[in-house]
Amino acid sequence: MRILVTGGTGFIGSHTVVELLENGYDVSIVDNLCNSSAVVLDRIKQITAKTANFHKIDLLDKVALDGIFESERFDCVIHFAGLKAVGESVKEPWKYYNNNLVGTLNLIDSMSRHGVKNLIFSSSATVYGSPKVVPITEEHPKGNCTNPYGQTKSMIEQILTDIHKADGEWNIVLLRYFNPIGAHPSGLIGEEPNGTPNNLMPFITQVAIGKLPELGIFGSDYDTKDGTGVRDYIHVVDLAKAHVKAMKKIFDNAGLEIYNLGTGKGYSVLEVVHSFEEATGIKIPYSFKPRREGDIAACYASADKAKKDLGWVAEYGIKEMCLHSWNFQKLNPNGYGE
């Protein structure tokens, strides 16, 4: 079976390509490399001893995208490609709506015209907005997304839901990721943030390696166990494995399904810092800063539905997440070096 992975050289996509290849699937990747490096392709080969077909194509280039569907036959598409920087999306909303929405619409059009109607989409816990209750189940109503990035996820979910409603031949799984961190245990692939990281774990690893002087902790007066924000961190390899399970569900004629992908456990910022220090033996200097705009106090998943329907549970704990994030940073101090 051949799977098309859009955004397959990115952080989550590359780990998923590894899992797909290791599970015997043939893989084709489409990525324009706007937030990733072609070096990833060699790294994937080093890990798996297998090669994925690579097409350096922008999803906005409808003709080129369609060309791939003319030349290859896909059984399923896993759609990661998108822009994901929350702050940038506030400053440049058009870019986000254009890239994420038009890219997805072009993809659906090509899929539809070539009779490929199996799709897994990378959504986010951001669609829940500020949760009314935690843990968050899939039935939790969608909330107010405070930024254009989150809006694109919510809108694409709606578009895909309507497409499935109109044509029951589509099998679509919407995966709502919580907070992916970690890296492949080999240290060969991982997360390479662009510029100063916005997210917690890449910031911590850059402090650990000496690129940044200290971590600023955004808010110490939240209504949480120690006043700092609580999130559901999930190891990217566990997340990648969930895609393989979700694909099996698709081949069983899933219809339209939504799954949270998290561990079900919430860790505060201070707990993450201390876990990192324990796992690596490296001290992380920090100071408290005001709350970051748009942040919520606590967000963690009920992952029961994925366990029941997909037989998937996250296996790695916070210690391995920290250790593997650090391992990637240590082995690749300048990222993929391009």
Supply the residues annotated as catalytic: 149
243-263 as b/e: b if 16+ CB within 10 A: bbbbbebbeeebebbbbbbbb
Judged by beta carbon, residue 218 or residue 336, the one nearer ligand UD1 is: 218
Stretch that binds ligand NAD, among 4-12, 127-135, 219-227, 286-294 (CB under 6 A): 4-12
Q: Is 275 in the site for ligand NAD (CB under 6 A)?
A: no
Closest CA to 7 of 46, 75, 57, 70: 57
148-167 mask for ligand UD1 (x: CB under 6 A)? --x-----------------
Place of tokens 């998937």: 312
DSSP letters, 52-87, are -EEEE--TT-HHHHHHHHHH---SEEEE--S---HH
- 146-185: contacts with ligand NAD (CB under 6 A): 177, 180
Closest CA to 5 of 121, 159, 85: 121
Q: Is 262 in the site for ligand NAD (CB under 6 A)?
A: no
- The residues with which 77 forms a beta bridge, in sequence order, are 4, 119
Contact between 246 and 280 (Cβ < 8 Å): no
- 74-133: contacts with ligand UD1 (CB under 6 A): 86, 124, 126
- The token pair that represents 303 in the structure block: 């992952």
Q: Under 8 Å CB-to-CB from 323, ≥6 apart: which residues?
A: 279, 280
Using CB under 6 A, pick the residue from 1, 33, 64, 284 that binds ligand NAD: 33
Judged by beta carbon, residue 32 or residue 205, the one nearer ligand UD1 is: 205
Stretch that binds ligand NAD, among 55-63, 213-221, 275-283, 304-312 (CB under 6 A): 55-63
Using CB under 6 A, pick the residue from 203, 259, 312, 316 that binds ligand UD1: 203
Q: Is 269 in the site for ligand UD1 (CB under 6 A)?
A: yes
Q: Is 7 in the site for ligand NAD (CB under 6 A)?
A: yes
Q: Is 135 in the site for ligand NAD (CB under 6 A)?
A: no
Report helix, strand or coil for 298.
strand
In angstroms, rounded to a whole number, what is the distance separating the alpha carbons of residues 52 and 196?
31
Q: Is 129 in the site for ligand NAD (CB under 6 A)?
A: no
Q: Is 295 in the site for ligand UD1 (CB under 6 A)?
A: yes
Q: Is 199 in the site for ligand UD1 (CB under 6 A)?
A: yes
- The residues with which 6 forms a beta bridge, in sequence order, are 30, 79
Amino acid at 285: P
Stretch that binds ligand UD1, among 42-50, 56-64, 212-220, 317-325 (CB under 6 A): 212-220
99-128 mask for ligand NAD (x: CB under 6 A)? x---x------------------x-x----
Judged by beta carbon, residue 35 or residue 325, the one nearer ligand NAD is: 35
Stretch that binds ligand UD1, among 42-50, 239-247, 253-261, 289-297 (CB under 6 A): 289-297
In angstroms, rounded to a whole number, what is the distance separating the alpha carbons of residues 5 and 55?
10
Closest distance of CB 83 from ligand NAD, Å: 6
Q: Which stretches of 137-235 are DSSP H helices?
A: 148-166, 200-208
Asked if residue 285 has a cis previous peptide bond (ω within 30° of 0), the answer is: no
**Binding positions for ligand NAD, rule: CB under 6 A:** 7, 9-13, 30-36, 58-60, 80-84, 99, 103, 122, 124, 177, 180
